[in-house]
Amino acid sequence: MTSLRKIEILFLVLFAVQSQAATSDPAYISGEVLVRYKDSVSDNAIQSLSSVVAPQVRSFRKLKLKKGNHYLLKTSTKESVLAVIERIGKDPSVLSAQPNFIYKTFAVPNDTFYGSMWGLKNTGQKISGLDSFGPAFVKSEGNPGTAKSDMSMESAWDRITDCDSTIVAVIDSGVDYLHEDLAANMWDGSGAGFPNHGYDTYSSDNNPMDGNGHGTHVAGTIGAVGNNAKGSVGICWKVKIMAVKSMSDSGSGSTATIAEGIDWAIDHGAKVINLSVGGASSDPILTQALEDARQADVVVVSAAGNDGTNNDNAPTYPCNIQKENTLCVAALTQTYGLAGFSNFGVNSVDVSAPGTNIVSSWNLTPTEVTDDFTAGWQKSSSSATTWGAQALGSGPTPAMTAPANWDGSVQYVNNTDARAYKSFDMSAFKEVRLGYGVIYNTGSGDILRTYCEPGAGDSTGGTVLDAKSGLTGSSGYTLAYDVSAACGQQTCTPGFQFFTNGSVTNTGIVLISFKLTGYSQGTTGYNLIRGTSMATPHVAGLAALLRSYNPDYKAADVVISIKNGGRSILALSVKTRSGKAVDALGSLSYIQPPSGVSAQAVP
């Protein structure tokens, strides 16, 4: 064999080894080798392969290529492809030999809301709303975003989308395991006696169904089914999501329920744990649970907290429990700046990830209750200025105005206390949101207050939702409030109070587009929310992707790959330990020897 051909074959062997090492999926087809023979070698001669090669060949065929004398050889699966290549290279009639490499289509999911999932692909898009969670629920910080400020997910998905070999435990308010975008990716615990895909340590039973929405949202970011033409898409298109309900339906848990949840998840095979929870107290029992996870080779990802404070000075737990298997995550905006609400800490917070205006699965289905202000409203006033229903514009648009004869020129009077309220039956709904549009033109010190009262009666005895004072210039607003505590599963009475002082008057207030949106348990809901709780599952999903991509990696290897494979951002260098935003492609490409593996030269 010539030195040139030796070098060529050695290069192909090394290339194949590196390709194989970089992915959990095979880079080439096992048992197949592509061989190029010299043009001078006849087909008959090739069919009479040398005795060195023949015992390893089961079948072969000539490729229909314009140039070269190429054959596809199917070899004994007992011998590695690389060994066969080396053996074939000894045949003087062979010009080159190589593996039959695998190619895949580039992965772009067809899920309905993918275009709004800026953390996975940021085109600089403006997030403007989602179903009934419309513009009033969208946060403006960093919105619209900066193109390419994202996790490089499409490039990562070109390598791997399937995390089905990894169990990810979501320790939270539960998971809606019947949700249309999660059901196919839930952990199957039926063989171990857990038919509902997990366990409830809060109530000590076998049903970890989410009654809050938080855990379902977290689970969807990790592993909503990908490319199913519905809903959102997870970091992992396929995965095993283990539901561990350690929080109440109101979103509160304890040391006991969370620590039990961690140990239960470890005992039942979880290799990644998402902890989108936080507290202010140093906790020895929780610390021991994270040590249990370390000893069991489990990656634990936790949230930095939403107080906008420095965890180095005011610790948040479990974030501040630092171990080689743990990661604490801050939240980024769509421009890849640190979100204003996000905690940080150059010695306590490891990385940052997308955490504002995050779209994911939700376990509640909306029903809108609208109103045109014409019937059922109770009204009172201390002056001639009262609330009244009108139909305005060419539409016309149903409205309630103060004064009742509002036309953009009539002035309301001083020293008014005008009230309007109405009761609605929301007993069928677990959560309730109030929304309306408003145009103000009021004098200094004149106030519009919005109230909500559980039960019937004058709502001004209930919760004050908002108070707007002295707004002028016909400013238009769309306002929305979560009134679940006052209105969920009972009679709900929202109301408005227009209070004026003795000074300047103006043309008043117009209310339009009034609606109450009730949410009942369902399997087709999606929501758009923010928080370090939403940033955390982006990293937990990436940890699952890495564990599936590199099955020999230990928990510490995954943590190092996420930290070192991230994207450096100057502003984060004084905010987090790594100074980096997580990057899926960067972490998949970050190569280090797996822990516990060594190599030595063989003479």
Which residue is associated with the tokens 């949840």? 261
- CB contact set of 233 (below 8 Å; sequence gap of 6+): 109, 111, 114, 117, 120, 224, 225, 226, 227
Classify residue 596 by burial, with Cβ atoms within 10 Å: 0-12, 13-18, 19+.
exposed
- Helix ranges restricted to H, 71-159: 81-88, 153-157
In 410-457, the DSSP E strands lie at 417-421, 424-425, 431-441, 447-454
* Contact between residue 451 and residue 465 where contact means Cβ atoms under 8 Å apart: yes
DSSP 177-219: TT-TTTGGGB--BGGGTBTTSEEETTTTBS----SSSHHHHHH
> Which residues are designated catalytic?
172, 214, 380
Classify residue 77 by burial, with Cβ atoms within 10 Å: 0-12, 13-18, 19+.
exposed
* Contact between residue 396 and residue 435 where contact means Cβ atoms under 8 Å apart: no
On the question of a cis peptide bond just before residue 318, with omega within 30 degrees of 0, the verdict is yes
* Contact between residue 466 and residue 481 where contact means Cβ atoms under 8 Å apart: yes
* Contact between residue 253 and residue 573 where contact means Cβ atoms under 8 Å apart: no
Numbers of helices and strands, H then E, in the chain: 11, 25
* Contact between residue 285 and residue 319 where contact means Cβ atoms under 8 Å apart: no
Helix (H, G, I), strand (E, B) or coil at 242: strand
- Helix ranges restricted to H, 436-531: 484-487
Q: What is the CA radius of gyration of the chain?
A: 31
Walk across the sheet containing 351-354 and list its strands: 198-200, 238-245, 162-172, 272-275, 299-303, 326-332, 351-354, 580-581, 567-568
In 260-307, the DSSP E strands lie at 272-275, 299-303
Residues 233 and 224: their CA atoms lie apart, in Å, by 5
Closest alpha carbon to 564 in 592, 538, 537, 541: 592
Q: What does each C-alpha distance from 166 to 158, 449, 461, 540, 545 come to in angstroms?
A: 19, 51, 52, 11, 8
